[in-house]
Amino acid sequence: MVEPTPTRLTPKLLAEFNPIPKESATRLRRPQVTLDLSALRHNAMIAKRAAGGRKILAAVKADGYGHGAVTVAHALRDRVDGFMVATLGEGEALRQAGFTQRIVVLQGVMNQTEARRAAQRFLEPVFHHTSQIDTVGTVGFGLPLTVWLKVDTGMHRVGFTPNEFPDAYARLSALRGVRPNPGVLTHFARADEPDAAPTQAQIALFQQTTAHCAGELSLCNSAGLLAFPEAGGDWVRPGIMLYGGNPFISDTASKHDLRPVMTLTTSLIATRTVQAGESVGYGGRFTAPETMPVGVAAIGYGDGYPRHAPDGTPIVVNGQRARLIGRVSMDLITIDLRGIKAAVGDSVECWGAQLPIDEVASAAFTISYELMCQLSGRVARHIIEP
């Protein structure tokens, strides 16, 4: 007897489709990020060399700059001395994953409950505002809390001014739940610029402000670490350089022997000929000046490719440098294939091993940090172990 053809999808019928097969055959068609953990470890070695005797807190906030905080922390666990995150939740996630290194929480704690959570998980909150000292109060937390104070030496965003600092330091040190001799840190606003003067002024102000502090000190982000060896301190806090991004507004990452960790690839899902005068994509931003070949790649802003990338943004098709044309859409981009050998199924690299992310970032009016952080959950991750 022939089964009647179902005319309507029912939960029972749907269940028969399960498990939905892994997309092995179609995976090549989808955006994929490849994370080269040997590059990450190499970059940590560059940071360590620049740090001299100073210890390293690896910045793994924002899910390890989009690379996966746990993946990054695992790869770096024997190369760095601790980790730095922005939020208490990010710190707790690392503890949950089993990391026992020191973890500094930049935004600190907002109340007693959070302070107790931090103490019990050996997380080290940064205090940057009096309201935090007020709300944490004079009670203990079961375990002593290791704390840091942030001093504002020129960024003017968060932190105690040098005037407010002595009082904040004395008040925080006197709290019952807090370990004596808080650490002190500051953050550079312009260490990435060729002009050294603003950073030198921040360093001098920090040294003056902390002259009587017995605790640990920390000044440098990646740019500070590479460009201001005289900054000193006990700890450095590199982020972008670990991921192979260029910390400076001039220069290139490779000039500092930094290697790209993240490579974002997809593939061509269509090629077509566009006639002279025809426009491509939403809004018709690009009009073909002549009859020309155009490639369509399976990636868009829904994956984290920057929507603001203009015509001419570099991209690599099958190993050849090509140019983006037309507006980036949610799932697709279009590429000028004039002079390029390409066919459907060919690989497309948006940034990474063959194309520095900083070149794409600067074409798209942003920085590598943002491109890394905004990769979406739709992008499959492939990890190359060291």
Ligand X SMILES: *Cc1c(COP(=O)(O)O)cnc(C)c1O
Nearer to ligand X, 59 or 268 (CB): 59
Q: Which is nearest to 85 in space by CA: 66, 100, 101, 107?
A: 107
**Pick the catalytic residue: 61, 169, 243, 305?**
61
If you search the block for the tokens 């000929």, which residue do you land on? 273
| Least CB distance to ligand X at residue 299 (A) | 25
Contact between 190 and ligand X by CB under 6 A: the answer reads: no
Which residue is closest to ligand X by CB?
239
**106 makes contact with ligand X (CB under 6 A):** yes
**Residue 12: active-site member:** no
Check if the beta carbon of residue 278 is closer than 8 Å to that of residue 326.
Answer: no
Catalytic residue, chosen from 169, 282, 301, 369, is: 282
243 given a catalytic annotation: no
Residues belonging to the chain: 386
* Candidate list 187, 190, 256, 323; residue touching ligand X; CB under 6 A: 187
Query: Encoding tokens for residue 128?
Result: 């940057």
Q: Segment 39-78, which members bind ligand X (CB under 6 A)?
A: 59, 61
133 and 171 in contact (C-beta within 8 Å)?
yes
Of residues 237 through 256, those in contact with ligand X by CB under 6 A are: 237-240, 247
Residue with tokens 């002009």: 195
236 phi and psi, to 5 degrees? -115, 160
Rounded to whole angstroms, the Cα distance separating 240 from 262 reads 12
Select 109 or 328, whichever has its Cβ closest to ligand X.
109
Q: How far is the CB of 153 from ligand X (least distance, A)?
A: 12
**Residue 142 CA neighbour count, 13 Å, CB half:** 11
CB 244 within 8 A of CB 261: yes
What is the nearest approach in angstroms of ligand X to the Cβ of residue 261?
Answer: 13
Alpha-carbon dihedral sign for residues 85, 79, 384, 244: positive
Give the binding range for ligand X (CB under 6 A) out of 48-56, 206-214, 234-242, 269-277.
234-242
For residue 369, the minimal CB distance to ligand X (Å) is 6
Active site residues: 61, 282
Summarize as ranges the residues that interact with ligand X (CB under 6 A). 59, 61, 106, 187, 221-222, 237-240, 247
